[in-house]
Amino acid sequence: MDFFETRERYRKKEYRIYINLVLRIAVLLLVLWIGWEWGNFDQKNLYNNTKNELDKTQIQLSQLSQKIVTLVQENKKLAAENTISELDLKGSDKILSNSIKFLLESDVSLEQIRQSLLSISSPINCRKLADENLAVATELYTGSESSLSLFQGGLLVHIDGAPYSQGNKSNPWFDPFKDIEVRLAYLGGQKIVTGKLPLNVVIPAEYWLLKAHITESNLRGYVRIMFEQCSVR
């Protein structure tokens, strides 16, 4: 074997070694790439699955929170109805019953309501606002003086009564010994009170109340209305 043949064989051997090394490196890189892609795929799947589960959990929590709020409101409503029943207010003033029920459902305690009612019954710092005579409307008499506008139209007052005798046009005036109906229309509401003279009407506000004291007037067919504004303790 001469020098050239030996050298050629050595080159082929080196070539096979290089090819083998390159193939091994290529296989190793291929394995690493496949492993990385597989891991990345698993990671994406894990992320997507986790995100989906979190979204589902969030929706369930939102639905559960809404159910809890609904149950709390229903419980407050039921508790308020039970309190109204225990106070025996169902057969009394419906407006009063509904107002107390609304306050109870709004987390206002019964003691707070009681204190507020006591403060209304004992107002302080009252000042006179108006003293007017108003004609009482009957089925035989209704005139322009049967309605009264006060406080720049902020309060409208109308009173209906029963005449002394039915169908007697010569005596159309109201009978002060019979019930009268007082209607007060004001911004945000209306109040209707029925009863015999003298009659007191109270319109409560947040920090004050308006009191109307209605008595028989010296003018025939009229009543006298005195208005006071009072502070509430």
In tens, the pLDDT along 16-53 reads 777 777 777 877 787 778 777 776 766 777 777 777 77
Which strand ranges, in their side-by-side order, compose the sheet holding 155-160? 147-150, 155-160, 180-186, 189-195
Spatial distance between the Cα atoms of 17 and 10, rounded to a whole number of angstroms: 10
Is 159 in contact with 179 (CB distance < 8 Å)? no
Domain limits of the chain? Answer: 1-108, 124-231
C-alpha dihedral sign at 74, 76, 77, 83: positive
Spatial distance between the Cα atoms of 99 and 86, rounded to a whole number of angstroms: 16
DSSP per-residue letters across 170-196: TS-SB-TTS-EEEEEEETTEEEEEEEP
Backbone φ and ψ of 230, nearest 5°: -125, 150
In tens, the pLDDT along 178-221 reads 999 999 998 777 888 999 999 998 887 766 788 899 999 999 88
Q: Which two tokens mark 20?
A: 């083998």
Residue 2 has pLDDT above 60, yes or no: no
In the prediction, which pLDDT does 92 show?
Answer: 46
Residue 168 has pLDDT above 80, yes or no: no
Q: pLDDT tier at 91 (50, 70, 90 boundaries)?
A: very low
Spatial distance between the Cα atoms of 149 and 144, rounded to a whole number of angstroms: 11
